[in-house]
Amino acid sequence: MTIAALLGHFKIHVPRYVTMDGQIVFNGVSASGDGSYTHTDHGAVTPVANHTFHGGEEEPDDGPDAPTHWWDDSDELARHIEAMAKCFPKFVFIPASEKLAPCWIGEIDTGRGKFEVGVVLRRDRGLPSVKVIGGPRLGVSAGRSWIPSPHLYLNGNLCVADRADWEPDGHTAATATAWAAHWLAAYTEWRMTRRWPVEGVRSSAA
């Protein structure tokens, strides 16, 4: 059974994990005492935190328009940098600039497609913005019509979770990147079947 088919087969309550390359796995994962997880074939993996795919209008970044931002706290930013280096080491960190928040750019390989993804932190410490960079539009042609992918924000960014799923004191950019891998795995199935296989994950192990 393919990974995409497994998404629908295992439904929302079964734990799932993401490899360092971005592939979703379900079985063959063992936990260690330090809280890390290892897959028998893929090595270190990251649990997909509980989330629900969403859509509509992406919330504006309502953080303060000030000369300093929360990521100027080196310890707070380090949580995100260290998590990304551990979980998705091939992603490249781009420090904040005058016009750009800290972000990461890297490739997610679902096993059925590769996507270059940007994960951008927000001034309001909310759910990071996630976007596919370059490549074709996310959707399918149907005759003369264009069908956009489900669970996209109106601006084209991925709606990887509900804002209420995001926990700014516990989650990191790696959490959002794992959600993006889950989203893209579901998307590759939708492109084949026009059926979104699962609406997220709600697992006690996540």
Range in 78-92, 136-150, 173-187 the model is least confident about: 136-150
Q: What residue spans define the domains of the chain?
A: 53-194
Q: What is the mean pLDDT of residues 44-51?
A: 94
**How high is the pLDDT of residue 1?**
46
| Residue 110: partners with Cβ closer than 8 Å, 6 or more residues away | 3, 22, 23, 24, 181, 184, 185, 188
* Mean pLDDT, range 19-36, rounded to an integer: 90
Percent of the chain with pLDDT over 90: 63
In the numeric block, which tokens belong to residue 1?
């059974």
The lowest-confidence range among 62-66, 101-105, 118-122, 123-127 is 62-66
Using an 8 Å Cβ cutoff, are 8 and 197 in contact? yes
- Over 70: is that where the pLDDT of 161 sits? yes
pLDDT at 99: 83
Which among 86, 93, 91, 172 has a CA at the least distance from the CA of 125? 172
Check whether 7 has a pLDDT greater than 60: no
Q: What average pLDDT does the segment 40-56 reach?
A: 90
- Both tokens of 135, joined, read 């490549």
* Tokens 């579901």, located at residue: 186
Higher pLDDT, 206 or 191: 191
Q: Which fold has domain 53-194?
A: Ubiquitin Conjugating Enzyme (3.10.110)
Percent of the chain with pLDDT over 70: 90
For position 63, what pLDDT does the model report? 63
Residue type, 9: H
